[in-house]
Amino acid sequence: MSRLPSKEQSLAAEKRRKTILSVVLACVCIIYVLPVLSVVINSFKLNTFVKTDTFALPTGDMWAGFNNFIKGMTFGNYPFVKSVLFSLLITVVSTFLILLFTSMAAWYIARVNSLFCKIFYFLCVFSMVVPFQMVMYPLSKTADSLHLNTPWTIPIVYLGFGAGLAIFMFVGFVKSIPISIEEAASIDGCGPIKTYFQVVLPMLRPTMISVGILEIMWVWNDYLLPYLVLDINEYRTIPIHIQYLKGSYGTVDLGATMALILLSIIPVIVFYLICQKYIIKGVAAGAVKG
């Protein structure tokens, strides 16, 4: 008869499994951040060495200091600050609209749960798997026809694109909220609007932050949608500005390009690091319950 493993043996085996898992995940993380590390390294190199010594450290003659950052922000006839303001405006307004309208829609879907709500919910979920190439031409045509091709109106387009993921996560979280809380608010005289803003909305904070950071990272770094919808000669977001950072005869200054890419992703990284514990909590709540 075989002997059962002792408690010490079980703990040792569990420790080995966790160590192996930690090593594997560490390797995956290193591979994941290598592109970002490459951008950081090349943003401090002269343009020539970015092409010839891409993975070498910026030492000696390669070192460009902060000249790439200065050149990237001042080069060309389109101000980089203007692109930053357009990106900031579009990101903030789009995220605000997505959080407000999709959370309200998700609350209605979860509580009413009618046939129409179920169909609408599955259509929103289905929209997450539709390839962008299938809708980009009619989208740009519709945006032009409805005059949604400005930085002040393109957030409406982003609202449609970002609604699928947001509603999916919000519906899952709303289902975890006891309906008795809302019934108590109704007994106290709260109507639907007051119940949502004073009772439901504060409890949605974890998922709000999760959806918010995901949408911010998408909108801030999005290139295709502004390129298709906006008049890029008049309005440029940061990704479009970077794409048009060209010198004489169409040459591209890769050092300045890397510098601007680094400047564009730093805010997202900082925001993610500040909010990561809320992001994980909200994603888990929305995905598991949904």
Domain residue spans in the chain? 34-65, 77-289
The DSSP output letter for 197 is: I
Burial 229-257 (b: 16+ CB within 10 A, else e): bbebeebbbbbbbbeebeeeeeebbbbbb
Contact 62, 49 (CB under 8 A): yes
> pTM for the full model?
0.80
Domain 77-289 fold is MetI-like fold (1.10.3720)
- Per-residue HEC secondary structure of 209-234 comes to HHHHHHHHHHHHHCCHHHHHHCCCCC
The tens-digit pLDDT sequence of the chain (290 residues) is 455 557 777 777 788 888 888 889 888 888 888 888 888 888 888 888 887 887 888 888 888 888 888 888 887 778 888 998 999 999 999 999 999 999 999 999 998 988 998 999 998 888 888 888 888 888 888 888 888 889 999 999 999 888 988 998 898 888 888 888 888 888 888 888 888 888 888 888 878 888 888 888 889 888 888 888 888 888 889 888 888 776 544 567 788 888 888 888 888 778 778 877 766 766 666 554 44
Cα 153–Cα 90–Cα 161 angle in degrees, nearest 5: 75
